[in-house]
């Protein structure tokens, strides 16, 4: 960390991080499903100041026809950052980073969707980061997973994602902005539901074998906690819809 311009003297002081969290504590998490009325399904997920929203369209017939798969649906994912999501204006349009993140999210979601149910169709997943403070791909993936479930797309489980890293030589959960900029290691990971089945693992930095497995263990626990939060948000959505139906009958 030493030598980085603008780096704080320390990111962890007396066992506490700069925002007051313990090493194994998430930032404040917000999750909501079905928040957009113009989509077939939607989801919102936030780690503190990192906020992501996702919308799903489909399954719907794919055009032009030559792009169709006669045996199953295909999924297309697009991740983007709003121009106002960071302190400096993000240039709109395609970027190499956005393309890469879109691809890894697409691969992660493909591990749980039942594509055979909808031949010749496409499922479009759009993710927008409306505010960024590290761990954006994790927030986007969580929002997208809830959006698919909200749309009624058949899935064998949710995809749950969180970040882990090394800061001042300590393994931490949910890497925040300054920790991302000035920490030692940042790792994004995702699992199938609350199972120890990893479908995304991207590590930036260098770890010893021992520290890698410590990080992995903390990340698996974190993803399991995310699963409970996502499931609760989806239950709240359907509970609210059910109450609305009941009131409409009166």
pLDDT at residue 86, as a whole number:
84
Tell me if the pTM is above 0.85.
yes
pLDDT at residue 243, as a whole number:
58
pLDDT at residue 47, as a whole number:
98
11 alpha carbon, distance to own chain's centre: 24
pLDDT digits (tens, 9 = 90+) for 69-103: 999 999 999 999 999 998 777 776 678 899 999 99
| Residues paired with residue 81 on neighbouring β-strands, in sequence order | 129
Q: What are the structural domain ranges in the chain?
A: 13-244
Radius of gyration over every alpha carbon of the chain, rounded to an integer in angstroms: 19
pLDDT digits (tens, 9 = 90+) for 215-237: 999 999 999 999 999 999 999 98
Fold classification of 13-244 is Ribosomal Protein S5; domain 2 (3.30.230)
Helices 96-110 and 136-150: crossing angle in degrees, nearest 10, is 40
Q: Which helix H or strand E contains 99, and what residues bound it?
A: helix 96-110
pLDDT at residue 238, as a whole number:
84
Q: Kindly state the tokens that stand for 6.
A: 């603008």
pLDDT at residue 95, as a whole number:
83
Positions in the chain whose pLDDT score sits under 70: 1-6, 92-93, 241-250
């Amino acid at each position: 960390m030493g030598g980085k311009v603008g780096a704080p003297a320390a990111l962890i002081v007396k066992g506490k991080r700069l925002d007051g969290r313990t090493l194994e504590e998430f930032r404040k998490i917000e999750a909501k499903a079905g928040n957009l009325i113009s989509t077939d399904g939607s989801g919102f997920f936030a780690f503190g100041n990192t906020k992501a929203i996702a919308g799903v369209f489909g399954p719907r017939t794919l055009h032009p026809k030559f792009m169709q798969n006669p045996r199953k649906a295909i999924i297309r994912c697009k991740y983007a950052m709003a121009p106002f999501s960071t302190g400096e204006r993000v240039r709109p349009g395609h970027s190499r980073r956005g393309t890469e993140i879109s691809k890894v999210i697409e691969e992660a979601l493909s591990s749980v969707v039942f594509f055979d149910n909808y031949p010749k169709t496409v499922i479009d997943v759009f993710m927008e980061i409306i505010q960024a403070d590290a761990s954006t791909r994790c927030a986007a993936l969580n929002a997208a997973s809830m959006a698919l479930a909200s749309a009624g797309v058949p899935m064998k489980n949710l995809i749950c994602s969180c970040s882990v890293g090394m800061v001042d030589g300590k393994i931490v959960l949910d890497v925040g902005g300054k920790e991302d900029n000035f920490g030692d290691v940042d790792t994004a990971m995702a699992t199938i539901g609350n199972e120890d089945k990893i479908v995304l693992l991207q590590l930036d930095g260098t770890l010893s074998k021992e520290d890698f497995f410590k990080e992995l263990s903390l990340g698996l626990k974190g993803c399991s906690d995310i699963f409970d939060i996502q499931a609760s948000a989806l239950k709240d959505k359907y509970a609210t819809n059910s109450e609305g139906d009941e009131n409409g009958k009166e």
